[in-house]
């Protein structure tokens, strides 16, 4: 899989503040030196005649905002082991992957991105665009996130996992993927997840008789909203129990989207039993015991496994 695309010559980075291109695009301060104008046109950030309108200016600002969180993680891995692998789940049109490749991977000789996407036409389109741009270390697999965990097309270890608005439980599968691949970093912007709200709804009558806490999700609208919030709380606990340090922030500048919670998880220790116990208790307390397997932390590594701090 990794050899599928031919490598083309990349233009050297011009470090000046503005960029011009051979195809006549005027100097635009927001376009970084060395950035592919062809890519920005394909992503509809630049118009066909090379203009940047108000909407695309905002879009670009948002992409740079997300990039500023991911770039230091890539740098860190690259500095530590001379290579870096990133898997982007629910890639869609691979907007994120292409921008990451253009801004980071293109100027390095090592590193690889793989996009996972269930829609074949998007996979084909992205594969063709990567070939057209000469993004040789970029691949796309037509798989579900779940199937990507065991596919022989991916290595046993992946450094960075991203999932930007991956639908419903695809974010949960992306976490499972990250845990099974011993990912050093996971960057997640979850989408709506209906499963937790569904289980809350199913056990509502029992919960109301058992605990006044259930008032928090009694009304249907609250069931959905609380379900969504508690899903992310459970994901964070799952990651922490698996030995990750987690930060949760708002993806500022993403205000056009209702879903702008950014979860960044950094592997830093072995599994933490006390957090796993809290996660278990929380599941019981709010009637979500049915979902124990969904939020199962990573198992403790075998006694002869490499410690997390030495793994990279
Ligand atoms: C809302 S789009 C987000 C696309 C992209 N990440 C972005 O932010 O622009 C979600 C994408 O995830 C894909 N998807 C949904 N469930 C998936 C699954 N279980 N495995 C892989 N891809 C999935 C959909 O086909 C869709 O392209």
Which tens digits make up the pLDDT trace of 98-145?
999 999 999 999 999 999 999 999 999 999 999 999 999 999 999 999
Which residues lie with the beta carbon below 6 Å from any ligand 1 atom? 90-92, 95-96, 116-119, 122, 144-145, 164-167, 170, 191
> What's the confidence (pLDDT) of residue 302?
57
Write the CA distances from 302 to 176, 271, 299, integer angstroms.
18, 12, 9
Measured in angstroms, how far is the CA atom of residue 160 from the centroid of ligand 1? 18
Pocket test for ligand 1, best of 88, 90, 96 (most atoms within 8 A of CB): 90
Contact 111, 79 (CB under 8 A): no
Write the CA distances from 57 to 46, 52, 253, integer angstroms.
9, 6, 12
Measured in angstroms, how far is the CA atom of residue 168 from the centroid of ligand 1? 9
> What's the confidence (pLDDT) of residue 301?
65
Measured in angstroms, how far is the CA atom of residue 114 from the centroid of ligand 1? 14
* Tokens matching residue 149: 């965990």
Q: In what order do the strands lie in the sheet with 244-250?
A: 138-142, 112-117, 85-89, 160-164, 185-189, 261-267, 244-250
Pinpoint the alpha helices (H) of the chain.
Answer: 37-42, 54-81, 95-103, 120-133, 145-148, 170-180, 195-202, 204-210, 220-241, 273-285
Contact 204, 227 (CB under 8 A): no
Contact 125, 117 (CB under 8 A): no
For ligand 1, atom 10: residue with the closest CA = 166
For tokens 């037509």, the residue is: 142
For ligand 1, atom 27: residue with the closest CA = 92
How far is Cα 220 from Cα 198, in angstroms, rounded to an integer? 11
Contact 186, 127 (CB under 8 A): no
For tokens 């879903």, the residue is: 259
Measured in angstroms, how far is the CA atom of residue 304 from the centroid of ligand 1? 37
How far is Cα 250 from Cα 139, in angstroms, rounded to an integer? 29
Ligand 1 atom nearest residue 191's Cα: 1
The residues, ordered by sequence, that sit 6+ positions from 203 with a Cβ below 8 Å of its Cβ are 287
> What's the confidence (pLDDT) of residue 59?
74
The residues, ordered by sequence, that sit 6+ positions from 128 with a Cβ below 8 Å of its Cβ are none
DSSP 307: P
> What's the confidence (pLDDT) of residue 10?
36
Task: List per-residue pLDDT tens for the chain, 312 residues long.
Answer: 433 333 333 333 333 233 444 444 547 778 888 899 999 999 888 888 888 888 778 777 877 888 999 999 999 999 999 999 999 999 999 989 999 999 999 999 999 999 999 999 999 999 999 999 999 999 999 999 999 999 999 999 999 999 999 989 999 999 999 999 999 999 999 988 899 999 999 999 999 999 999 999 999 999 999 999 999 999 999 999 999 999 999 887 665 566 789 999 999 989 999 999 999 999 999 999 999 999 999 987 655 444 444 344
How far is Cα 193 from Cα 23, in angstroms, rounded to an integer? 44
Ligand 1 atom nearest residue 119's Cα: 25
For ligand 1, atom 4: residue with the closest CA = 92
Measured in angstroms, how far is the CA atom of residue 88 from the centroid of ligand 1? 10
Residue 160: φ, ψ to 5°: -130, 130
283-286, Cβ contacts within 8 angstroms, sequence gap of 24 or more: 283/234, 285/211, 285/213, 286/200, 286/207, 286/213, 286/214, 286/217, 286/230
């Amino acid at each position: 899989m990794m050899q599928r695309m031919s490598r083309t010559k990349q233009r050297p980075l011009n470090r000046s503040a503005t960029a011009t291109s051979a195809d006549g695009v005027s100097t635009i301060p927001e376009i970084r030196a060395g950035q592919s104008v062809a890519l920005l046109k394909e992503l509809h950030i630049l118009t066909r005649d090379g203009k940047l309108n108000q909407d695309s200016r905002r879009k670009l600002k948002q992409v740079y905002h997300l990039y500023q969180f991911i770039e230091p993680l890539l740098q860190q891995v690259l500095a530590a082991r001379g290579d870096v692998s990133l898997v982007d789940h629910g890639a869609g049109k691979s907007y994120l992957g292409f921008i990451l490749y253009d801004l980071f991977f293109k100027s390095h000789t090592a590193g690889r991105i793989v996009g996972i996407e269930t829609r074949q036409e998007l996979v084909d389109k992205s594969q063709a665009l990567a070939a057209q741009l000469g993004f040789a270390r970029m691949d796309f697999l037509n798989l579900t996130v779940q199937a990507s965990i065991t596919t022989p097309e991916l290595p046993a270890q992946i450094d960075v996992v991203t999932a930007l608005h991956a639908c419903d439980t695809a974010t949960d599968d992306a976490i499972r993927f990250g845990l099974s691949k011993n990912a050093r970093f996971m960057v997640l912007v979850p989408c709506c997840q209906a499963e937790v709200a569904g289980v809350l709804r199913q056990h509502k009558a029992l919960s109301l008789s058992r605990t006044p806490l259930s008032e928090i999700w009694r009304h249907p609208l609250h069931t959905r909203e609380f379900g969504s919030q508690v899903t992310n709380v459970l994901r964070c606990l799952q990651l922490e129990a698996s030995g990750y340090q987690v930060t949760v922030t708002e993806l500022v500048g993403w205000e056009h989207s209702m879903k702008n919670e950014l979860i960044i998880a950094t592997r830093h220790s072995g599994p933490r039993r006390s957090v796993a116990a809290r996660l278990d208790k929380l599941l019981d307390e709010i009637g979500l015991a049915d979902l124990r397997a969904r939020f199962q932390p990573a198992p403790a590594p075998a006694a002869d496994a490499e410690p997390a701090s030495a793994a990279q």
